[in-house]
Amino acid sequence: MPTVELRECNKELVDSLLDANTNNRSYNKSAIAVLAKEMEQGKFLLTPNGVGLDTNGVLVDGQHRLLAMRMAGYPPVQFILVRGLLPESRLCVDIHRKRSMRDMLHFAFDMRINNQAPAICNVIRYAKNGWSGSATVAMSPHEMIDIVQEYKDEMEFIILHPKNKTTFSSSELAAFVMVLKDRGDLDRILEFMDMVEGGENLNNKMPAFHLRNLIIVLRKGFVNGGIRRERFLKTTKALISHLDGKQMGALRLP
Protein backbone atom coordinates (compact mmCIF):
# COMPACT_ATOMS: atom_id res chain seq x y z
CA MET A 1 0.00 0.00 0.00
CA PRO A 2 1.55 3.34 -1.01
CA THR A 3 2.27 5.89 1.71
CA VAL A 4 2.18 9.67 1.35
CA GLU A 5 4.34 12.08 3.37
CA LEU A 6 4.75 15.85 3.46
CA ARG A 7 8.50 16.49 3.59
CA GLU A 8 10.80 19.47 3.69
CA CYS A 9 13.90 19.59 1.54
CA ASN A 10 17.20 18.82 3.21
CA LYS A 11 20.49 17.61 1.81
CA GLU A 12 20.39 14.10 3.26
CA LEU A 13 16.86 13.42 2.02
CA VAL A 14 17.29 14.90 -1.45
CA ASP A 15 20.61 13.18 -2.08
CA SER A 16 19.20 9.82 -0.95
CA LEU A 17 16.23 10.23 -3.31
CA LEU A 18 18.54 11.14 -6.20
CA ASP A 19 20.64 8.06 -5.45
CA ALA A 20 17.44 6.12 -6.26
CA ASN A 21 17.19 7.81 -9.66
CA THR A 22 18.54 4.80 -11.54
CA ASN A 23 15.98 4.33 -14.32
CA ASN A 24 14.56 7.61 -15.57
CA ARG A 25 14.32 9.78 -18.68
CA SER A 26 17.06 12.25 -19.59
CA TYR A 27 16.76 15.47 -17.64
CA ASN A 28 16.41 18.98 -19.04
CA LYS A 29 19.06 21.40 -17.69
CA SER A 30 17.02 24.46 -18.64
CA ALA A 31 13.96 23.21 -16.77
CA ILE A 32 16.07 22.46 -13.71
CA ALA A 33 17.57 25.97 -13.78
CA VAL A 34 14.10 27.54 -13.94
CA LEU A 35 12.89 25.48 -10.99
CA ALA A 36 16.03 26.25 -8.98
CA LYS A 37 15.56 29.98 -9.55
CA GLU A 38 11.95 29.72 -8.38
CA MET A 39 13.15 27.99 -5.21
CA GLU A 40 15.88 30.57 -4.57
CA GLN A 41 13.32 33.37 -4.90
CA GLY A 42 10.82 31.70 -2.59
CA LYS A 43 8.33 31.22 -5.43
CA PHE A 44 8.28 27.42 -5.48
CA LEU A 45 5.00 26.37 -3.88
CA LEU A 46 3.65 23.08 -2.62
CA THR A 47 1.47 21.36 -5.25
CA PRO A 48 -0.10 17.91 -5.67
CA ASN A 49 2.80 17.00 -7.98
CA GLY A 50 5.09 14.96 -5.78
CA VAL A 51 8.20 12.80 -5.75
CA GLY A 52 7.52 9.09 -6.16
CA LEU A 53 9.37 5.86 -5.36
CA ASP A 54 8.23 2.43 -6.47
CA THR A 55 8.11 -0.76 -4.40
CA ASN A 56 11.74 -1.44 -5.37
CA GLY A 57 12.84 1.97 -4.04
CA VAL A 58 13.47 3.37 -7.54
CA LEU A 59 12.56 6.97 -8.30
CA VAL A 60 9.70 7.13 -10.82
CA ASP A 61 8.80 10.84 -10.65
CA GLY A 62 10.34 14.10 -9.43
CA GLN A 63 13.93 14.03 -10.69
CA HIS A 64 13.76 17.59 -12.06
CA ARG A 65 12.42 18.95 -8.75
CA LEU A 66 15.06 17.09 -6.77
CA LEU A 67 17.91 18.19 -9.04
CA ALA A 68 16.63 21.77 -8.76
CA MET A 69 16.65 21.50 -4.96
CA ARG A 70 20.28 20.42 -5.13
CA MET A 71 21.16 23.22 -7.57
CA ALA A 72 19.44 25.80 -5.35
CA GLY A 73 21.43 24.67 -2.30
CA TYR A 74 18.72 22.59 -0.62
CA PRO A 75 16.27 25.39 0.31
CA PRO A 76 13.55 24.49 2.87
CA VAL A 77 10.80 23.92 0.29
CA GLN A 78 8.06 21.41 0.95
CA PHE A 79 7.05 18.56 -1.33
CA ILE A 80 4.89 15.45 -1.28
CA LEU A 81 6.78 12.15 -1.14
CA VAL A 82 4.97 8.97 -2.19
CA ARG A 83 6.51 5.56 -1.50
CA GLY A 84 5.41 2.10 -2.61
CA LEU A 85 4.13 2.87 -6.13
CA LEU A 86 3.87 0.03 -8.63
CA PRO A 87 6.94 -0.04 -10.91
CA GLU A 88 4.69 0.27 -13.97
CA SER A 89 3.28 3.56 -12.61
CA ARG A 90 6.14 5.32 -14.39
CA LEU A 91 4.22 4.67 -17.62
CA CYS A 92 1.49 7.04 -16.38
CA VAL A 93 3.79 9.94 -15.43
CA ASP A 94 3.67 13.16 -17.54
CA ILE A 95 1.41 11.73 -20.24
CA HIS A 96 -1.52 14.12 -19.80
CA ARG A 97 -2.04 17.56 -21.30
CA LYS A 98 0.45 20.04 -19.88
CA ARG A 99 -0.78 23.47 -18.83
CA SER A 100 0.52 26.11 -21.20
CA MET A 101 1.87 29.52 -20.21
CA ARG A 102 -1.36 30.94 -21.60
CA ASP A 103 -3.33 28.72 -19.20
CA MET A 104 -1.20 29.94 -16.29
CA LEU A 105 -1.79 33.57 -17.20
CA HIS A 106 -5.50 32.87 -17.34
CA PHE A 107 -5.39 31.41 -13.83
CA ALA A 108 -3.31 34.34 -12.54
CA PHE A 109 -5.47 37.12 -14.02
CA ASP A 110 -8.86 35.39 -14.24
CA MET A 111 -9.24 36.43 -17.86
CA ARG A 112 -8.60 35.10 -21.34
CA ILE A 113 -5.08 35.91 -22.46
CA ASN A 114 -4.36 36.33 -26.16
CA ASN A 115 -2.28 33.46 -27.50
CA GLN A 116 0.43 35.92 -28.59
CA ALA A 117 1.03 37.20 -25.05
CA PRO A 118 3.49 34.50 -23.89
CA ALA A 119 5.79 35.03 -26.92
CA ILE A 120 5.64 38.81 -26.46
CA CYS A 121 6.52 38.40 -22.78
CA ASN A 122 9.52 36.28 -23.72
CA VAL A 123 10.86 38.98 -26.06
CA ILE A 124 10.28 41.66 -23.41
CA ARG A 125 12.16 39.56 -20.86
CA TYR A 126 15.01 39.08 -23.34
CA ALA A 127 15.13 42.84 -24.06
CA LYS A 128 14.99 43.82 -20.38
CA ASN A 129 17.92 41.48 -19.70
CA GLY A 130 20.04 43.37 -22.23
CA TRP A 131 19.78 40.55 -24.80
CA SER A 132 22.05 38.39 -22.66
CA GLY A 133 21.57 34.64 -22.63
CA SER A 134 19.22 32.93 -25.05
CA ALA A 135 15.68 33.86 -26.02
CA THR A 136 14.89 30.14 -26.06
CA VAL A 137 15.73 29.61 -22.37
CA ALA A 138 12.57 28.60 -20.56
CA MET A 139 10.70 31.38 -18.78
CA SER A 140 9.12 30.61 -15.43
CA PRO A 141 5.42 31.31 -14.86
CA HIS A 142 6.31 33.92 -12.23
CA GLU A 143 8.56 35.78 -14.67
CA MET A 144 5.75 35.89 -17.20
CA ILE A 145 3.19 37.00 -14.64
CA ASP A 146 5.50 39.83 -13.53
CA ILE A 147 5.84 41.05 -17.12
CA VAL A 148 2.11 40.85 -17.78
CA GLN A 149 1.41 42.78 -14.58
CA GLU A 150 3.78 45.52 -15.76
CA TYR A 151 2.60 45.69 -19.40
CA LYS A 152 -0.95 44.31 -19.29
CA ASP A 153 -2.75 47.47 -20.46
CA GLU A 154 -0.26 48.14 -23.25
CA MET A 155 -0.47 44.53 -24.45
CA GLU A 156 -4.25 44.67 -24.71
CA PHE A 157 -4.13 47.79 -26.92
CA ILE A 158 -1.30 46.53 -29.15
CA ILE A 159 -2.29 42.87 -29.56
CA LEU A 160 -5.90 43.61 -30.44
CA HIS A 161 -5.21 46.39 -32.94
CA PRO A 162 -3.85 44.77 -36.16
CA LYS A 163 -6.49 43.78 -38.71
CA ASN A 164 -4.44 40.74 -39.67
CA LYS A 165 -3.13 38.91 -36.61
CA THR A 166 -0.17 37.49 -38.58
CA THR A 167 1.22 40.84 -39.77
CA PHE A 168 3.50 41.46 -36.81
CA SER A 169 5.75 38.97 -35.05
CA SER A 170 6.14 38.83 -31.28
CA SER A 171 9.30 40.94 -31.65
CA GLU A 172 7.51 43.84 -33.37
CA LEU A 173 4.58 43.64 -30.97
CA ALA A 174 6.93 43.62 -27.97
CA ALA A 175 8.63 46.75 -29.32
CA PHE A 176 5.28 48.53 -29.73
CA VAL A 177 4.32 47.51 -26.18
CA MET A 178 7.55 48.73 -24.59
CA VAL A 179 7.60 52.04 -26.48
CA LEU A 180 3.96 52.63 -25.54
CA LYS A 181 4.85 52.01 -21.89
CA ASP A 182 7.81 54.37 -22.10
CA ARG A 183 6.46 57.13 -24.36
CA GLY A 184 2.67 56.91 -24.28
CA ASP A 185 1.07 58.49 -27.40
CA LEU A 186 -1.21 55.52 -28.08
CA ASP A 187 -3.03 57.11 -31.03
CA ARG A 188 0.15 57.77 -33.00
CA ILE A 189 1.55 54.31 -32.26
CA LEU A 190 -1.65 52.70 -33.52
CA GLU A 191 -1.47 55.01 -36.55
CA PHE A 192 2.06 53.79 -37.23
CA MET A 193 0.94 50.17 -36.97
CA ASP A 194 -1.83 50.88 -39.50
CA MET A 195 0.67 52.46 -41.90
CA VAL A 196 3.02 49.47 -41.67
CA GLU A 197 0.23 46.95 -42.05
CA GLY A 198 -1.65 48.70 -44.87
CA GLY A 199 1.27 50.10 -46.84
CA GLU A 200 -0.77 52.89 -48.44
CA ASN A 201 0.85 56.19 -49.44
CA LEU A 202 4.27 55.28 -48.06
CA ASN A 203 7.53 56.55 -49.51
CA ASN A 204 11.13 55.60 -48.92
CA LYS A 205 11.72 58.45 -46.48
CA MET A 206 9.15 57.17 -44.02
CA PRO A 207 10.02 54.87 -41.08
CA ALA A 208 6.82 52.85 -41.71
CA PHE A 209 7.97 52.12 -45.27
CA HIS A 210 11.28 50.65 -44.09
CA LEU A 211 9.74 48.62 -41.27
CA ARG A 212 7.12 47.20 -43.64
CA ASN A 213 9.86 46.11 -46.06
CA LEU A 214 11.83 44.51 -43.22
CA ILE A 215 8.78 42.52 -42.09
CA ILE A 216 8.11 41.33 -45.64
CA VAL A 217 11.74 40.26 -46.16
CA LEU A 218 11.98 38.41 -42.84
CA ARG A 219 8.50 36.87 -42.89
CA LYS A 220 9.59 33.57 -44.43
CA GLY A 221 13.07 33.43 -42.97
CA PHE A 222 14.46 31.32 -40.13
CA VAL A 223 13.84 32.90 -36.71
CA ASN A 224 16.43 32.72 -33.94
CA GLY A 225 17.53 34.88 -31.03
CA GLY A 226 19.58 37.19 -33.25
CA ILE A 227 16.68 37.76 -35.65
CA ARG A 228 14.31 38.46 -32.76
CA ARG A 229 16.74 41.05 -31.42
CA GLU A 230 17.14 42.68 -34.86
CA ARG A 231 13.38 42.86 -35.41
CA PHE A 232 12.78 44.32 -31.96
CA LEU A 233 15.52 46.95 -32.19
CA LYS A 234 14.66 48.01 -35.74
CA THR A 235 10.97 48.22 -34.90
CA THR A 236 11.80 50.37 -31.88
CA LYS A 237 14.02 52.64 -33.97
CA ALA A 238 11.42 53.04 -36.72
CA LEU A 239 8.59 53.72 -34.26
CA ILE A 240 10.54 56.30 -32.28
CA SER A 241 11.58 58.03 -35.52
CA HIS A 242 7.90 58.19 -36.48
CA LEU A 243 6.91 59.59 -33.09
CA ASP A 244 9.70 62.18 -33.33
CA GLY A 245 8.62 63.17 -36.86
CA LYS A 246 11.93 62.14 -38.42
CA GLN A 247 12.50 60.82 -41.92
CA MET A 248 14.62 57.75 -42.53
CA GLY A 249 16.86 56.87 -45.44
CA ALA A 250 17.46 53.30 -44.29
CA LEU A 251 16.60 51.19 -41.28
CA ARG A 252 19.99 50.24 -39.87
CA LEU A 253 21.23 49.58 -36.38
CA PRO A 254 24.32 51.37 -35.06
**Quick one: pLDDT at residue 236?**
95
**Quick one: pLDDT at residue 227?**
82
3-state secondary structure at position 84: strand
- Please enumerate in sequence order all residues whose Cβ is within 8 A of that of 171, keeping only pairs 6 or more positions apart, or say none: 123, 227, 228, 229, 231, 232, 235
- CA 58 to CA 77: how far, in whole Å? 22
Planar angle of CA 73, 76, 81, nearest 5 degrees: 105
Strands in 56-209 per DSSP E:
59-61, 78-85
**Quick one: pLDDT at residue 83?**
93
Region label for 185, one of left (φ > 0), alpha (ψ between -120 and 50) or beta (otherwise):
left
Q: What are the distances in angstroms from CA 217 to CA 1, 88, 138, 221, 227?
A: 62, 52, 28, 8, 12
Question: Which amino acid is present at 158?
Answer: I
Do 76 and 120 fall into the same domain?
A: no
Q: Residue ranges of the chain with pLDDT lower than 70?
A: 91-114, 133-138, 220-225
Do 63 and 125 fall into the same domain?
A: no
Do 67 and 122 fall into the same domain?
A: no
Kind plus residue range of the DSSP H or E element containing 204: none
**Quick one: pLDDT at residue 31?**
80
CATH code: domain of residue 61: 3.90.1530
Question: Which amino acid is present at 247?
Answer: Q
Tens of pLDDT, residues 11-69: 999 999 999 988 777 778 888 888 898 899 888 888 888 899 999 999 988 889 999 99
Query: Could you list the residue range(s) of the whole structural domain that residue 56 is in?
Result: 3-92
**Quick one: pLDDT at residue 100?**
55
**Quick one: pLDDT at residue 241?**
94
Do 78 and 127 fall into the same domain?
A: no
**Quick one: pLDDT at residue 134?**
52
> Is pTM beyond 0.85 here?
no
User: How many structural domains compose the chain?
Assistant: 2
**Quick one: pLDDT at residue 111?**
45
